[in-house]
Structure 1
Amino acid sequence: MAIKDSVTEQQIKEAAKKLFFKEGRFKATTQEIADAAGVNRTLVNYYFRSRDVLFDEVLKDAKAAMTNRLKSSVGEENIPFRVRIERFVDVMIENSFAYPYIDVYLVSRMNDDVNHQNDVLADIKKNEELKHFLKLIEDEMGKGTIEKMPPVQFLINLLSLLTYPVIIQPLFKKVLHFSDRQYQQMLKDRKEIILNLLLK
């Protein structure tokens, strides 16, 4: 039995992340993952037992990386609300460059898998950071820097403005004749538009 090597394991995971969430190839085979990682297919099975286990592992890693980036960017207590939203937008846009298909996968997975849907909903309900963020939104409405509405509506507006252009990008790029670079620049340009739409 070979000794597991963390470098090889990470190499396989990075290749899988690229195929699944950067290129949108959710049905990539174990052989395709092995080829992208430059390893033998038996090594993929040795490290992860199955393609589904690998998929779950790389999804967990990708979500954790974004969560950590969000915490480090917007987690400070004493920063102005506008700066907090600017940082949030920056992280979400950068994440969309790294993993443009992750939101598509999460939505399709929730539609197909009731257990996964319940797990996600349970995580959201016990998420203290989300509750804190909604309270900050409510406080800002009290100050008059945001139009008054249920705080969750503000959050939905913010996320919709950020995620919809990412989810629809394969279609938009074809319709608008945009290259990957042009589309990424358009997403970056949306930052000020989003801030001006949501904040007074």
Structure 2
Amino acid sequence: MSNQAKKDQTQELIKDTAKNLYFVKGKFDATTQEIADAAGVNRTLINYYFRSRDNLIQIIFDEAQKVEKEKSEIIMNSDLPFKEKIGQFIDGSLSTSLQYPYLETYIVSQINKGTCHHKDIEEEELNKLYDDIRKEMESGNIDKMDPIQFVLNMISLLVFPSAVRPLLMENLMIGEKEFDKIISERKEIILNILFKN
């Protein structure tokens, strides 16, 4: 294996390990040493490849966000009927929640710190979404409301349980596996709340 291939492999290993500690296990206070130990590499390599822990975390966060944004764009730009589009969007979001159970919690923690402002949607895309929602309302598939309320309902139903996952697990006395099962069962429930038929 060439030096470059080995370097790339080590970088990916460090990133995957950090993603696992942060977004899968929810260890937001993991130190550079803990990331290095979990990856089975020397701590100096993290600083060598990524300059700092914060820089590494920013990179893995941006990567996770980018995947999510690309998935959303593919769905929203497809020619599927509106309800199917929303169903696929919900599917994608829920599968991300299952892959990275603590990603939403992390986003909320960063927003609270004032360090996370990602504009995910362009004005043109948003207006098209609102038009689609209005058409569905006129067809009687969705209750009449300001389209932004539909979007807020969908995002709240999708994101809130994952965003406050640790709090819900503690108060509802459920473990990780059970919580994942509940999340995976939410698609039909959300669709039935959002759509009349």
- TM-score, shorter chain, exceeding 0.5: yes
Q: Which sits farther off after the overlay, 100-109 or 61-70?
A: 100-109
Secondary structure of 1:24's match? coil
Q: Per-residue deviation at 1:127?
A: 5.0
**Which residue does 1:104 correspond to in 2?**
105
The answer to whether the aligner puts 1:154 opposite 2:140 as a matched pair is: no
Q: Which residue of 19, 22, 25 maps to 1:23? A: 25
Q: Which sits farther off after the overlay, 66-75 or 162-171?
A: 66-75
**Which residue does 2:176 correspond to in 1?**
180
**Which residue does 1:80 correspond to in 2?**
81
- With over 3 angstroms needed to count, the CA separation of the structure-2 counterparts of 1:52 and 1:131, relative to structure 1, is farther
Q: Per-residue deviation at 1:74?
A: 4.2
**Which residue does 1:166 correspond to in 2?**
162
Name the % identity.
41
In 1, distance between residues paired with 2:172 and 2:110? 29
- Give me the TM-score of the superposition, normalised by structure 2: 0.88
RMSD over aligned CA atoms reads 2.0
In 1, distance between residues paired with 2:21 and 2:163? 16
AA at the equivalent of 1:100: P
Q: Per-residue deviation at 1:125?
A: 6.5
In 1, distance between residues paired with 2:77 and 2:21? 31
Q: Which residue of 182, 188, 194 maps to 2:190? A: 194
Unaligned 5+ segments in structure 1 are none
Matches within 5 A, 1:41-80: 41-76=43-78, 78-80=79-81
Is the Cα contact below 8 Å between 1:124 and 1:130 reproduced in 2? no
- Give me the TM-score of the superposition, normalised by structure 1: 0.87
- With over 3 angstroms needed to count, the CA separation of the structure-2 counterparts of 1:174 and 1:40, relative to structure 1, is same
AA at the equivalent of 1:6: D
The higher-RCO structure (CA 8 Å, 6+ apart) is: 2
AA at the equivalent of 2:129: F
